[in-house]
Homo-oligomer: A and B are copies of this chain.
Amino acid sequence: MQLTPIGIIHSPYKQRGDAPRQGRLSDKEITLEVYPRFAAALKDVTRCSHLIVLHWGDRANRETLQSRTPFSDAPLGVFSSRSPNRPNPIAFRVADLIRLEDNRLIVRRVDALDGSPLLDIKAYASAIDAITDAASGSIPTSLEGISEGRLPHA
């Protein structure tokens, strides 16, 4: 299972610590540059207001199975959290599409580090992807709680 980079991400976030706690808290414009050989797959992409963006966390630690989060006192299993460190560091973000310039997507709400390899882009569909009443005991239920690093139920 060998991944092929479909492009590269240009971002103002140069290293860990520069980025906010979650992509949804980022208001910076980020550029998803799709390599020319994959540009045909961008046909019709401007029909979408939001896109699922998968990128490779090339600076992640793949050995990490449990880690502390901003919202927990004890380490959580990485499959129970959104830790960037995990066996396959495939980062998932929902991007707001701002505009398309040739083979470059300008988006917001993505906090990828500069130079991250781009893996996939998909249409986000509210009917299948928006679960509004999910209970997560590991992540606060509001963006404010995430921003402030509250405990999940605080």
Contact = CB atoms under 8 A, between A and B. Distances in A.
Interface of A: 1-6, 22-24, 34, 38, 40-45, 47-52, 54, 56, 58, 62, 65-66, 75-82, 86-88, 90, 92, 94, 117, 119-143, 145-146, 152
List the 5 closest A-B pairs by CB distance, nearest first.
Answer: A47-B137, A43-B77, A1-B3, A79-B121, A50-B134
Main secondary structure of the interface of A (DSSP, over half): mixed
A136 B125 contact: yes
A44 B137 contact: yes
24 contacts: A1-B56, A3-B88, A4-B88, A38-B87, A40-B65, A41-B66, A41-B77, A41-B87, A43-B66, A43-B80, A44-B137, A45-B77, A45-B79, A47-B137, A49-B133, A50-B131, A50-B134, A51-B79, A79-B121, A82-B125, A123-B136, A129-B129, A129-B130, A130-B130
Contact of A48 (B47, B51, B80, B130): B80
B136 A22 contact: no
Given A41-B79, A43-B77, A90 B119 contact: yes
B119 A80 contact: no
